[in-house]
Structure 1
Amino acid sequence: MKEETSMKNKGIGFSKAVDFGESGTLFEEKELAMPELTSQLDVIVKVLASAVNPVDVKMAEAYQGHDFTVLGFDGVGEVMAVGDDVLGFEPGDRVYYAGQQLRSGTNQVYQAVDSRLIAKAPANLTLSESAALLLTGITAYEILTDALGLAISEGVATGKTILIVNGAGGVGSILIQLAKFIGLQVITTASRPESVEWVKSLGADIVLNHHEDLGMQLKEFGIDQLPYIVLLHSTDKYWNLATRYIAPFGRIASIVETEGLLDMGPLKNIGAQFAWEFMFAKGNFDIRMAEQGQALAKLTDLIESGKLKTTLTKTYKGFSAETLEAAYRDVASNHMIGKVVIVY
């Protein structure tokens, strides 16, 4: 095991639930102990940039403890130390990753990360461009592979169509690109002019206005069945639409929790399937964790070959309570297009 010494760690977090409707400072800075290699599969990373995701906001708002907590999942940084069982990485490597819910997060200078979750960062992207791709990239990747049963191989799904509800957000912005790469015709939803322009720039073929009747709009395009439907917003609201338009033996996937029970009855007699995608499940239960590092390695290949582009739209410079809070507030507003990143 190789380790750096004489390093100091700083973290930014909170000790109570955060209300983003309040004014004033919501986060605090503290000096933290240096992270340790608690597993020989761990690496210590000096974090150079991180992104904020809706899950960060939800976890901050729902926090019920009193201990100082450091969140953050998307990280880009430099490997400083490696455990004895780490393969393929060494000190000095520039890596990127989406971490685990049950470990201290990226909102600190140094972080311990399971090496099975990391990959070499794309050589042709900046720190902020790389940080924008992680949790959303893995989620989009797993929607296609785990939930919909598709391979990430160019043109493999040519001739088929996917409906993505909420294409302009972080996950949707990657999912549109990956879907186009594998050959799918992409129908997505957006309403604001800037959102419509954004999803079209990513490759969306048809853009529906989610403030109007989606069923009527699908009929106008001559669409009465879809083999793949992905709900990235308001699962309850769009469930009837999904079950009405899913084709026999089609697949529906969602990442958004429901407020009530979903009626699975309409899926039975047509052999259709529904799947949840929750990218933290593999890390939370230590199941097939290496698949996420492998997914990021695949995304790196696609980025470096020009098949996939970053979804970065906003960057804050400097690691402070002020910049972190500003980024969290951006995401909490529910008006973000693409991703917001803090470069340390």
Structure 2
Amino acid sequence: MTEATNTQIGYSANLPASDPGAFEVRSSPLPAPRPGEVVVRVEAVSVNPVDVKLRAGSPARGFRVLGFDAAGVVTGVGDGVAGFAAGDEVFYAGSIARPGSNQRYQAVEARLVGRKPANVSFGEAASLPLTSLTAWEAAFDRLGITDSSEGYLLVVGASGGVGSVLLQLVRARAPRVRTIGTAGAANADWVRSMGAHEVVDHRGDLVEQVRALAPEGVSWLFTSHSRHQEAVYARVVQPFGRIVAIDDGARDVAPLKDKSIGWLWELMFTDPLHLPDSHHQAWILDQVAALVEAGAVRPTVTSDLGTISAESLGRAHAAVESGRTVGKIVLEGWAI
């Protein structure tokens, strides 16, 4: 059943997540699909660090709807769209340049949308798009890991949303790559359950711990916590190795030159923003869906905060903002 108007949850001022006014509920006209778009009835969303950063510091310019993870049902298809029809169940992360998924109906570019895995709930599916796209692009597109690759991969921040998916993807698609994840003692079992062959304590001496497992160093390093770590990484990565980072800020890569180590960045939104004819992310999501259905990758939900509302989004943002979350937080269904 289609509602007469759309419900959107967004912000108009950069307030703390705990502030009762941090999120506002507004009504808007139902979106109509433009050429190349589908309209999706959003059934579940997840909250990512990018949501928190934008709410805390990015101008709303009136009113901004966040949300970059969604799973739902197609209700409308625009001209020129092939492969989708009303009633299809889908999942996606969308684009940072457009209103997000914290709304009942969302228009999204079809080239960014994948089919939802048939064997999981909407909430479980919503935990996957942004992190799986980031992890896939980081491991396979940036680092160049293939199904025939051999060597060690160090995953810094392995208990986080991206690290948890990356470990699973590499285990499924590059079985000869040995993965080492960093985590605190409380999260070590989670990281092993995600596919890490070894876990090292992120509070300890990283060089000593990694070198004990990979005496010649690692071939690849993924990091979500790279600030001030360039010299440390230079000591654990092999000559001609590669590092890919997803966090923000300038980095001093001079320590890497002696070993000709490559420093790469991964931003999932590069494709949506700069490659208007690319369908690569839809393809990745379809590959992830197949892996989920085959049991090789599982959703990383660790907290379900109930239905989608201004209050529950505030709680989700506060949890992500704490920096202590493991896996993903999801919201499923609508309270309003």
Provide, for residues 3-32 of structure 1, a one-character-per-residue CA deviation record: whole Å limited to 9, x for no partner.
Answer: x97632000111011323x54342111111
The offset of 1:220, in angstroms, is: 3.0
Alpha-carbon distance in 1 for matches of 2:329, 2:277: 29
The offset of 1:210, in angstroms, is: 1.1
Confirm or deny that 1:141 pairs with 2:136. yes
The aligned residue for residue 89 of structure 1 is: 84
Confirm or deny that 1:48 pairs with 2:63. no
Pick from 14, 18, 24 the counterpart of residue 15 of structure 2.
18
Q: 1:287 to 1:162 in 2, by over 3 A?
A: farther
Pick from 103, 115, 127 the counterpart of residue 132 of structure 1.
127
The answer to which of 116-125 and 29-38 deviates more is 29-38
The offset of 1:102, in angstroms, is: 0.8
Pick from 296, 313, 318 the counterpart of residue 307 of structure 1.
296
Alpha-carbon distance in 1 for matches of 2:203, 2:44: 36
Q: Which amino acid aligns with 2:178?
A: Q
Pick from 26, 35, 42 the counterpart of residue 30 of structure 1.
26
Asked if 2 retains the 8 angstrom alpha-carbon contact of 1:148 and 1:228, the reply is yes
Pick from 179, 185, 200 the counterpart of residue 178 of structure 2.
185
Alpha-carbon distance in 2 for matches of 1:298, 1:90: 20
Coordinate RMSD, CA, aligned: 1.7
The aligned residue for residue 215 of structure 2 is: 223
The offset of 1:146, in angstroms, is: 1.8
Alpha-carbon distance in 1 for matches of 2:259, 2:229: 19
The offset of 1:320, in angstroms, is: 1.3
Q: What does residue range 50-69 of structure 1 map to in structure 2 within 5 Å?
A: 50-69=45-64
Q: 1:261 to 1:275 in 2, by over 3 A?
A: closer
The aligned residue for residue 262 of structure 1 is: 252
The unaligned stretches of length 5 or more in structure 1 are none
The offset of 1:331, in angstroms, is: 0.9
Alpha-carbon distance in 2 for matches of 1:6, 1:315: 25
Q: 1:187 to 1:6 in 2, by over 3 A?
A: closer
Q: What does residue range 326-337 of structure 1 map to in structure 2 within 5 Å?
A: 326-337=315-326
TM-score normalized by the length of structure 2: 0.94
Aligned residues: 331
Confirm or deny that 1:286 pairs with 2:275. yes
Asked if 2 retains the 8 angstrom alpha-carbon contact of 1:231 and 1:238, the reply is no
Asked if 1 retains the 8 angstrom alpha-carbon contact of 2:230 and 2:256, the reply is no
The offset of 1:66, in angstroms, is: 4.0
Asked if 1 retains the 8 angstrom alpha-carbon contact of 2:230 and 2:251, the reply is no
The offset of 1:316, in angstroms, is: 2.2
Q: SS in structure 1 opposite 2:299?
A: coil
Q: Which amino acid aligns with 1:26?
A: A
Counting aligned pairs with the same residue, the percent is 36
The aligned residue for residue 153 of structure 2 is: 162
The aligned residue for residue 72 of structure 1 is: 67
Alpha-carbon distance in 1 for matches of 2:72, 2:278: 20
Alpha-carbon distance in 1 for matches of 2:3, 2:67: 24
Asked if 2 retains the 8 angstrom alpha-carbon contact of 1:218 and 1:224, the reply is no
Alpha-carbon distance in 2 for matches of 1:5, 1:320: 19
The offset of 1:44, in angstroms, is: 0.5
Asked if 1 retains the 8 angstrom alpha-carbon contact of 2:231 and 2:256, the reply is no
Alpha-carbon distance in 2 for matches of 1:286, 1:115: 14
The aligned residue for residue 244 of structure 2 is: 253
The unaligned stretches of length 5 or more in structure 2 are none
Alpha-carbon distance in 2 for matches of 1:276, 1:76: 27
Asked if 2 retains the 8 angstrom alpha-carbon contact of 1:282 and 1:288, the reply is no
Q: 1:289 to 1:199 in 2, by over 3 A?
A: same
Q: Which amino acid aligns with 2:202?
A: H
The offset of 1:186, in angstroms, is: 0.7
Q: Which amino acid aligns with 1:229?
A: L
The offset of 1:269, in angstroms, is: 4.6
The offset of 1:83, in angstroms, is: 1.0
Q: Which amino acid aligns with 1:116?
A: R
Alpha-carbon distance in 1 for matches of 2:205, 2:300: 28
Q: 1:239 to 1:268 in 2, by over 3 A?
A: closer
The aligned residue for residue 188 of structure 2 is: 196
The aligned residue for residue 110 of structure 1 is: 105
The aligned residue for residue 286 of structure 2 is: 297
Q: Which amino acid aligns with 2:319?
A: D
Alpha-carbon distance in 2 for matches of 1:303, 1:288: 27
Asked if 2 retains the 8 angstrom alpha-carbon contact of 1:254 and 1:277, the reply is yes
